Structure 1
């Protein structure tokens, strides 16, 4: 976390001391409050990591009760915040009481700026270490690295992946181009007992038919013109690990029979070879095509279909994954902002609205392209809709639903998911976006079965 991102809230009603502290801590983007109510407003608005809190607040400037109530309110709203309390000279009992109530540290007046600066600097450092620790725990709890799933439809898929991964079941991933099929395939591998072994991917649509056989099965020296040495194929290279066959719906009919034999017997023969080679590899396939229609047209073998589709996972397009587009866009923005050396602050509100409105025919791949382009070309500090080549949204037309309760529930859930995505899972921010209280957000999450990240 750099200094520009460090926010310090100073709660102090003495104008002279406030001016001194403003000048001394200007590197921390300080914000100020004079009493408990304004302090709470600043906590909600700015979410400071560290708070410098004078316990002697009006209307009881000579006592500590109002300051203690402010401490309690701050920690209730933002438990991770580090609160440094300031007490009167010699008032150690108040400092001890505040620390027992959850304050990070204390300092007694009169203020010595150099000492106070060290305390605050250490508080920011501890906050950062704790944040990193929370992220590590969060990543451990969410092993599908690279997959962002805030919508219920994708959360269901995550749960399926977690159940399937420990098995050896051949799995078929069906979804539009760019919907994240390889990300899910890699997640299956990463969560499986084969995680330390190779993950080998091949795109069946990207390699000409006459080359695909040798790419898959390998070849012996002299098998054809130019075969100057024995070469292992992708299937052999996946020994002990996972073989990912992307766009299997485009595989030539002649090769489908050879792949079927491998799936049935778990042996292969290299091109030009005479010996069977056993291979122990899990197979995960993916396609954007309707294989059942291809079977009806005679373009895909039915017996192969049933071999590769022991378990089928259908990935919804991005347009059907409410709230995922914004969450993914923010993650892509962070990556691109760093890669291109920009110092952009994020998306303007109209850009977020445009992301929600767009149909995303190219799915996540299109979203990545547009975000990357916007980061490179944006002239302001915030990306707007024009930077992404998107149009401003218009009001949606009637969707034909006539059941009022059903319409209300759908709209309520959609608004909740989108607000949580915009707020990066921050409950306080989401509550502000919707104009409701934090308890109301929690009630809505329980009602709709949405888990907090």
Structure 2
């Protein structure tokens, strides 16, 4: 297995290189930063091990740049735990907290390799859990759904707040499907996943010849969502220079394609989401206060999974059933000990982390029963409640 280690700390980098040199089946290449790695990575690499807190391009930006082409294991210190949780959102299925024993890393490598071998390449018909509706219930969820029902029937702008992985896109889709716009498009855009220089053309579209590579006209997401709902996730990541244009769209209800001399009227409901503290962003001059008030007409705070524990087993069991079907496994179930572990884990990555853990346990467990050790929760070093 050809592995790339991306670590700016020379001592850590050399230690990993030496320790893994004892394992003949691994061909290890090390890089001192993400930019150097991106220049050398090719299809011969099977796994990337990356730190998060690195100068220049950090680990999260690095994972985004990889675009899902490689399996990734994140390693991090306690000071960057929050960013490790962000990695779950980008598809990273394993991360380790420093310091760790080399045996712990090797076990994570083997788990990741086993998962990669067993997961079929996605096709247009491959079912996923990304569009799953609510798989469980809790007092916190019922209270939130009650508030959501009142707001969904209006066209007011809504902002969904909460930690990464709590299911903000699921809520946004639920709002859309509960509104009079349900028969029209629902389009979701992640601001953090689009390079800054492409966001404007992605949202507003462009005319042929608007810039060098504009060989033909492109319809923007606002026009594609006509009559429906446009969900702007990670709105705090929108470049400041574009925020004024978004504010104008909200005020005038019209957009202008790049390279066009005319405006186009639009009828689109805007739902935004963020896990950032926008008040701090405003104070730092990174987010427009007037735009914030336009987007935050109806704020909805989605509680983290640790405050909705009644939902954990329902979500886990539904996800397990779905993955067994998706991968053509025989039916599997959790042991009482595994259920207890699921219910008492902190889930810092929320529902997204839970679904990721279930998928991995479904793939790596040998029999039809998934026990505590198949969950690999202790390896994450985050403990129980």
TM-score (structure 1 length as normaliser): 0.54
Residues 208, 217 of structure 2: 8 Å contact kept: yes
Residues 321, 331 of structure 2: 8 Å contact kept: no
* Map of 1:339 onto structure 2: 326
Given the alignment of the two structures, is residue 318 of structure 1 paired with residue 305 of structure 2, yes or no?
yes
* Map of 1:4 onto structure 2: none
Q: Aligned equivalents of 2:325 and 2:225: distance in 1?
A: 34
Q: Give the alignment partner of residue 365 of structure 2, picking from 378, 393, 414.
A: 378
**Deviating runs (4+, > 2 A) in structure 1?**
none
Provide the alpha-carbon RMSD of the alignment. 2.1
Q: Aligned equivalents of 1:285 and 1:223: distance in 2?
A: 28
Residues 345, 384 of structure 2: 8 Å contact kept: no
Paired residues for 1:234-313 under 5 Å: 234-313=221-300
* Map of 1:211 onto structure 2: 198
Q: Give the alignment partner of residue 228 of structure 1, picking from 215, 228, 240.
A: 215
Paired residues for 1:119-158 under 5 Å: 146-158=133-145
Q: Aligned equivalents of 1:251 and 1:307: distance in 2?
A: 15
Residues 187, 229 of structure 2: 8 Å contact kept: yes
Paired residues for 1:39-188 under 5 Å: 146-188=133-175
Residues 6-58 of structure 1, C-alpha deviations (whole Å, 9 max, x = no match): xxxxxxxxxxxxxxxxxxxxxxxxxxxxxxxxxxxxxxxxxxxxxxxxxxxxx
Instruction: Flag the structure with higher helix content.
Output: 1
Residues 161, 302 of structure 2: 8 Å contact kept: yes
Higher relative contact order (CA 8 A, sep 6+): 2
**Long gaps (5+) in structure 2:** 1-130
Q: Aligned equivalents of 2:183 and 2:211: distance in 1?
A: 35
With over 3 angstroms needed to count, the CA separation of the structure-2 counterparts of 1:226 and 1:384, relative to structure 1, is: same
Residues 344, 375 of structure 1: 8 Å contact kept: no
Residues 175, 287 of structure 1: 8 Å contact kept: yes
Larger Rg: 1
Q: Aligned equivalents of 1:391 and 1:273: distance in 2?
A: 56
Q: Aligned equivalents of 2:270 and 2:384: distance in 1?
A: 42
Q: Aligned equivalents of 2:321 and 2:204: distance in 1?
A: 40
1:345 deviation in Å? Answer: 3.5
Residues 324, 332 of structure 2: 8 Å contact kept: no
1:292 deviation in Å? Answer: 1.1
